[in-house]
Amino acid sequence: MVANQTQASRSGDSLEPLAVAEFTPADLPDLNGRTIVITGGDGGLGKETSSALAHAGASVIIACRNLDRARAALDDISAAATAAKPVLVHLDLADLESIRACSDEIAEHTSSVDVLINNAGVMAVPYRTTKDGFESQIGINHLGPFALTGHLLPLLLASSGSRVVTLSSLMHQQAKLDVDDLDYQRRRYFRINAYAQSKLANLLFSRALASRFDRAGSNARSIAVHPGAAATDLFDPIVPTLGLRRMMRQIVALTAKSAEEGAYSTLYAAAMPDARNDDYLGPAEFGGVRGPVRRCPRSAQAADTVLAEALWERSVELTGVDYTAIS
């Protein structure tokens, strides 16, 4: 507890208790009439999140790269829905043109977006680049969501009290982010380091966006979350062989939260009334691996507003998305 308080003080985060101490999806308010866009909502944490939101009455728009896989998941999510049936749109976060096209397609379905959940991502993959030449993890995990949020900003601002929820990770605490070398052209590439950098970028983006909402006098909220250690297939790229993967999955199943529990922090951020602008939510027990949803400390680097602004400007430069709609 002392270490957490020290870190919280260093980062400037308030760790005031949440209104619901033992949150589960049963605590979600009625979301009928709310439109929620979620990336990667066809599997793992995203599918669990989509199902719970649809069950609470939300109109869920699921943005996915693999529509064949998504259509299979859609049956399960539709079965959970209590109001509008979820819809699919195509999104490849490794392609800026696909991101622009996706935002246009979303605009055909709705005149406003109440919540955008930046959930999709990759973890610890070998070095490769996106269609636009970015290292894939910073491209898919940060620059893609940065561009998508910017393109959807007019729809988000058309809703009263909209929210942008961005998934980070405990791994952000191990990261070192170099704004001038996001693509690892000057540094040796270690894929877990690149993943950690992208998750730190998520927190810096969320804080910089929250700051812009505040300065504009907007009642929109930017909230970051982490799932703890959740039992999904995201760990597979770290483990080279099928046998070891099976062993890893067994270990994770014994020690980590289920995918359903891993979605709790995202659900809280997306729907609960007391989730605040610039919050960082997730489990906080056992070093953040497990436990109920809490306000969590972030690393000193993740709270660095100068670094956040430098990353923001670099992201605008790389993506061409400038967020002028906020002002």
Amino acid sitting at position 32: N
Cα R_g (the chain), whole angstroms: 18
Terminal CA-CA length for the chain: 40
CB crowding 294-321: b at 16 or more within 10 Å, else e: bbbbbbebbbbeebbebbbeebeebbeb
Residue that the structure tokens 């790389």 belong to: 318
Instruction: Report DSSP letters for 23-48, one per residue.
Output: --GGGPPP-TT-EEEEETTTSHHHHH
CA distance 318 to 295: 32
Closest CA to 61 of 112, 98, 19: 112
Q: Write down the catalytic residue from 127, 184, 189, 195.
A: 195
**Known catalytic residue: 280?**
no
Helix (H, G, I), strand (E, B) or coil at 208: helix
- Show which residues are catalytic: 195
